[in-house]
Structure 1
Amino acid sequence: MTLLSHLRTAPLSAKIGMGMVLITLIAAIFAPLIAPFGETEIAGDVWLFSSSTHFLGTDSLGRDMFSRLVYGARNTIAIAFLITFLSFVFGVTLGFVAATIGGWVDQLLSRMIDILMAFPTLIFALMVLSVVGTSIPALIIVIALLDSTRVFRLSRAVAMDIEVMEYVEAARLRGEKLWWIMRHEILPNAMPPLVAEFGLRFCFVFLFIAALSFLGLGIQPPAADWGGMVRENAGAITFGIFTPLWPAAAIAFLTVGVNLIVDWALHVASGLKD
């Protein structure tokens, strides 16, 4: 079946997930056109309630919450996608190399990954970011390297199952090189689980960035970030103002949408019938 055929026959849950993700992507792409105020513009008094001027009220500095949410979608999603992409480039490449070559190369790479995975991810990221700083490039590189360890595990396991197939042996007998086998034989047959894992990893990275921002080591102000917006406005709850719930709801909204799509993708990849 083609991709279009799969989309037409997708269950209602998957279509709802696609709609949720599409709404978020539209907000991220067209943020300057959708947001009524600038990302860092002081638009009113502190912690104003919802009104015709401020749809979701204002934050702890008087900035429009709706505008901050829209710009936060652009910042958070773009960085999370880039981190996930880089983690897959690192993890899949090393995983395929380990599975295809085997021997001491496999043992060396696997033991290095085991050492990195022995540290709790959040604690390790906090420690490294505290040393190297909280710039955007540092955030991207640190999280991508940490997340690539999980991708390595999966890609190595999948590649080891494919690597023993007859068509891979035939490619070796023809004299094909390592990179050709990885690109033309292993990668196409490993795509279904890797695509599903990409969605799951994106959700993890997205939530991980939000957690780091909440702790003050993620995306730094004044840039809008959903996790940071929860931290900045947490004190409003004390006064019965629900401003921090808006970015928290946005985080949940996108996470649920992506997971609905991933569930459907896993079902399609498994080949099971409803």
Structure 2
Amino acid sequence: MASHTPLLHERPAASAVSAGQPLRGVAWFGRLCRYPPGLIGLLIVVLYVCLALFAEAIAPYSASEQDLTATLQAPSAAHWFGTDQYGRDIFSRVLIGSRDILLLAFSSAALGLLLGTSVALVAGYYGGTLDELLMRAMDMLMSFPALLLALLILATFGSALLNLVVCIGIVFMPRVARVIRSVVLKIRVQDYVTAAQVRGESGYSILVREILPNARGPLVVEGAIRLSYAILIGASLGFLGLGLQPPSPDWGLQVSEGRIFLLTAPWVSVFPALAIASLVIGANLLADGLMHALQP
């Protein structure tokens, strides 16, 4: 596999969660809430989800409403985060933009998890030549830097929301597959899997009824990790002009548009950048908390 510098340092945290331990009850949630970093991360993510759900009701202005008599105004009582070069209220744009970034992040993380887990289940359980073929294909995808692969896909198919979701999901697929395959390899040698094979159950039945439920802990952690990466990749693509296009108040695009005003009106870029950073940190803390809570 070719060496490269990834957009983000990949951490296989999900593999640290014990395989073969299905999620039961709410004990793990109690452990998450008693772990301060995990609780802080959970609160940050829940806060942003609530803000996104009620953004239209909370935002004092429309995201696209312009006032050319109030351009580049500093934060004030009328405009909490100030205004941009077109007189648009930055607070409203950050609020309403949270819907798009969260929809993109959750959807692409879910798609990457679905695709990667499907590959991992088949490769890890059946092994042999099929395993070799699938994992070499995943290695080929991983040989491309994440951002470069995303740029190639978006340059070909455009930057509509659906294309962004599919693009980031494909970027995540091989990374998820490698982590979850290692979990499947541990589970498939357990006694309950052997018993199911002796009973004559089909491979599909064993994968769905025996292996997948016992891999849910690592899957949950990996999903939280992918969520944080999806937020940052989505914002990076927006900064490069390949994310959601105007009039969508994309956070990355807001940072990009405001960079020429960093010396005269830094708030144009600073507040969207703080939103990106805080949400990424929250998702990472949540992933760490889930890993802590799901360890036996």
TM above 0.5: yes
After TM superposition, where is structure 1 displaced by more than 3 Å over at least 4 residues in a row?
A: none
Once the 2 structures are TM-superposed, how far is the Cα of residue 6 of structure 1 from its aligned partner?
3.3
1:39 to 37, 57, 63: 63
| Alignment partners' CA distance in 1, 2:35 and 2:129 | 46
Once the 2 structures are TM-superposed, how far is the Cα of residue 13 of structure 1 from its aligned partner?
2.5
| Alignment partners' CA distance in 2, 1:43 and 1:111 | 55
CA deviation digits over 1:126-164, x for unaligned, max 9? 122112222222211111111111011111111011011
TM-score, scaled relative to structure 1: 0.94
CA deviation digits over 1:26-69, x for unaligned, max 9? 11000110111112111452211112211111112211101101
CA deviation digits over 1:166-192, x for unaligned, max 9? 110111111111221111111111111
Please tell me the residue identity of whatever aligns with 2:123.
A
Which residue in the other structure is 1:101 paired with? 126
Please tell me the residue identity of whatever aligns with 1:7.
G
Which residue in the other structure is 2:189 paired with? 164
| Alignment partners' CA distance in 2, 1:3 and 1:46 | 51
Question: Which residues of structure 1 form unaligned runs of 5+?
Answer: none
Matched, 1:219 2:244: yes
Alignment of 1:1-274 (within 5 A): 2-3=25-26, 6-7=29-30, 10-43=34-67, 45-271=70-296
Which residue in the other structure is 2:3 paired with? none
Whether contact under 8 Å (1:212, 1:227) holds in the other structure is yes
| Alignment partners' CA distance in 1, 2:39 and 2:89 | 31
Whether contact under 8 Å (2:59, 2:91) holds in the other structure is yes
Whether contact under 8 Å (1:47, 1:241) holds in the other structure is no
Once the 2 structures are TM-superposed, how far is the Cα of residue 5 of structure 1 from its aligned partner?
6.8
| Alignment partners' CA distance in 1, 2:289 and 2:167 | 30
Whether contact under 8 Å (2:74, 2:265) holds in the other structure is no
Which residue in the other structure is 2:12 paired with? none
Whether contact under 8 Å (1:113, 1:149) holds in the other structure is yes
Q: 3-state DSSP class of the match of 1:104? A: helix
| Alignment partners' CA distance in 1, 2:210 and 2:186 | 12
Judging changes above 3 Å, is the alpha-carbon distance between structure 1 residues 4 and 29 closer, same or farther for their aligned structure 2 residues? farther
| Alignment partners' CA distance in 2, 1:97 and 1:157 | 12
CA deviation digits over 1:179-210, x for unaligned, max 9? 21111111111111111111111101110010
Which residue in the other structure is 2:14 paired with? none
Q: 3-state DSSP class of the match of 1:67? A: helix
Please tell me the residue identity of whatever aligns with 1:70.
L
| Alignment partners' CA distance in 1, 2:26 and 2:272 | 33
% identical aligned pairs? 37
| Alignment partners' CA distance in 2, 1:150 and 1:243 | 35
| Alignment partners' CA distance in 1, 2:223 and 2:195 | 30
| Alignment partners' CA distance in 2, 1:158 and 1:133 | 35
Once the 2 structures are TM-superposed, how far is the Cα of residue 239 of structure 1 from its aligned partner?
1.4
| Alignment partners' CA distance in 2, 1:99 and 1:244 | 45
Whether contact under 8 Å (2:59, 2:92) holds in the other structure is yes
